Amino acid sequence: MWKEMTLSVSLVALLLLFINPFEMFGMPTSSQMILLGIFNALFMVFIAFSWQENPQDEREMQHTFLAGRVAFLAGTIILVVGMVVQIFLHTLDIWIPIALGVMILSKMISLVYFQKKY
């Protein structure tokens, strides 16, 4: 549990360094590339931890499902808000609707798949 928490906090901290909202860090391209490499490595470890989750009982399984649902809803809300703001600014980045569409389609496809399988 602590490994996953530490990894999650590290990923968020690196994302904050990428965002750099107040230009606090003068970051040359080489520093960004190093951070990108570290981020990718940590993200692969995060995926491995997430994929290997193995709940021991129904309560832990329900907690895992609820955490996934909350994460999905938070991600879609942020993407929708970002899309609305960018539409009003007339600068819609194509990756926002693509990410939102992929999230929604993957949820629907996996739901249909698992309903038929089980």
What amino acid occupies position 48? Answer: A
Q: How many CA atoms lie within 13 A of 40 on its CB side?
A: 6
Quick one: pLDDT at residue 86?
95
- Please count the other Cβ atoms lying within 10 Å of the Cβ belonging to residue 58: 8
Closest Cα partner for 58 from 66, 68, 69? 66
Q: In this predicted structure, what is the pLDDT of residue 34?
A: 86
Contacts of 75 (CB under 8 A, 6+ apart): 103
pLDDT in tens, the chain (118 residues): 678 788 888 888 888 777 766 666 665 678 778 888 999 999 999 888 888 888 889 998 899 899 999 999 999 999 999 999 999 999 999 999 999 999 999 999 998 998 898 8
Tell me, what's the pLDDT at 102?
Answer: 93
Domain locations in the chain as residue ranges: 1-52, 56-118
Helical packing angle, 29-51 and 2-19, nearest 10° = 150
